[in-house]
Amino acid sequence: MLSVMSTDELSRTTIRTDDHRAAARKPLLRRPWVVPLALLTVIFIGYAVPPYLTLDPARARIQPMPSHAAYYPLLVSHIFLGSVALLTACLQVWPWLRRSHPRVHRWSGRIYVGVALTASVCVMIISPMGLHGPNQRVANTMLAILWLGTTLAGFLAIRQRRYADHRRWMLRSFALAFSIVAFRLWMPVAFAVFVPEIYVGAEVDSAALGQVIGLTSWMSWVVNVLIVEWWLHRRPDT
Ligand code: HEM
């Protein structure tokens, strides 16, 4: 049955549409995260992924590699899928694209969910094989479980048209996905503070190295999650 809008409803809809258009037109300067995030992502992928493109285990940065036959295929799968996840996450948090091209947002969102869910299952299997001890293994396994859980929660929320919940869960999922970039930023700091001898080529105690890598693995996602929770608390509905 066709419904006729009251003048009030019509003006509210017009105002909302105008709000959206105005928000979509906001210059990138007012969205200070869009360009730096995209740049950081492209730089990270350009640096981290090439050694894995040849599919030659000898070129992997992780050496020695855990001996399990499934390790390398799962590592490479999660790296390729993770790269797509990071690139699509950049599209998802770009307000202009979200508002002006909702179909692109929907499709890149579906791709994000597909690759993130598959990648998180890959890393759930390889994380317990990490060579740097229980601290790193637990940090990465927790990260994988939370990445899967938040992505699934965000997907279910949008299927049930719970828009605010969808936004919250997806931002948490993106924060977890970007932990890999944060890890690369925290690592040199943690090395400089806790094992500075690594920079002068001196021998580093393997237990100490394991602790530092474990600590960095925790920081890489816990700090991101705290920042997102702070953001959601500050801007509950933007
Ligand atoms: C968010 C959940 C993720 C978890 C739990 C996770 C877990 C892991 C684990 C366990 C390793 C092996 C580390 C080792 O054994 O020392 C690894 C390596 C790696 N991951 Fe992830 N990862 C995640 C997301 C991503 C994403 C989104 C990317 C994006 C490309 C990515 C790219 C890489 C790369 C490039 C390596 C190899 C490291 C190197 O070459 O130095 N990961 N990850």
Residue 204 CA to ligand 1 centre (angstroms): 23
In this structure, which amino acid lies at residue 80?
Answer: F
**Atom 39 of ligand 1: nearest residue by CA position:** 61
Task: Report residue 91 as tokens.
Answer: 């599209």
Instruction: Output the pLDDT for position 54.
Output: 97
Residue 180 CA to ligand 1 centre (angstroms): 6
Q: Block means of pLDDT (10 residues each) for the chain, length 238 residues?
A: 42 45 58 88 97 97 93 98 98 91 97 98 97 96 98 98 96 98 97 95 92 98 97 80
Instruction: Output the pLDDT for position 21.
Output: 53
Ligand 1 atom index nearest CA of 45: 30
The Cα 82–Cα 46 span in angstroms is 13
Helices (H), 26-101: 34-48, 50-53, 71-92, 95-100
Do the beta carbons of residue 216 and residue 190 sit within 8 Å? yes
**Atom 33 of ligand 1: nearest residue by CA position:** 79
Task: Report residue 39 as tokens.
Answer: 């740049």
Residue 83 CA to ligand 1 centre (angstroms): 10
Cα 205 to the center of its chain, rounded Å: 31
The Cα 49–Cα 228 span in angstroms is 26
In this structure, which amino acid lies at residue 207?
Answer: A
Ligand 1 atom index nearest CA of 86: 27
Instruction: Output the pLDDT for position 102.
Output: 95
The Cα 54–Cα 161 span in angstroms is 42
Global pTM reads: 0.88
| CA-CA-CA-CA torsion sign (173, 111, 179, 141) | positive
Count H helices and E strands in the chain, helices first.
Answer: 10, 0
CA distances from residue 109 to 22, 175, 209, 238 in whole angstroms, order as listed: 23, 15, 38, 18
Instruction: Output the pLDDT for position 30.
Output: 67
Instruction: Output the pLDDT for position 18.
Output: 47
Tell me, letter by letter, the H, E, C secondary structure of 84-132: HHHHHHHHHCCHHHHHHCHHHHHHHHHHHHHHHHHHHHHHHHHHHHCCC
**Atom 8 of ligand 1: nearest residue by CA position:** 123
Ligand 1 pocket mutation pick from 44, 78, 111 by most atoms within 8 angstroms of CB: 78
Ligand 1 surroundings by CB, under 6 angstroms: 48, 61-62, 78-79, 82-83, 85-86, 123, 126-127, 130-131, 140, 143-144, 147, 176-177, 179-180
Do the beta carbons of residue 182 and residue 48 sit within 8 Å? no
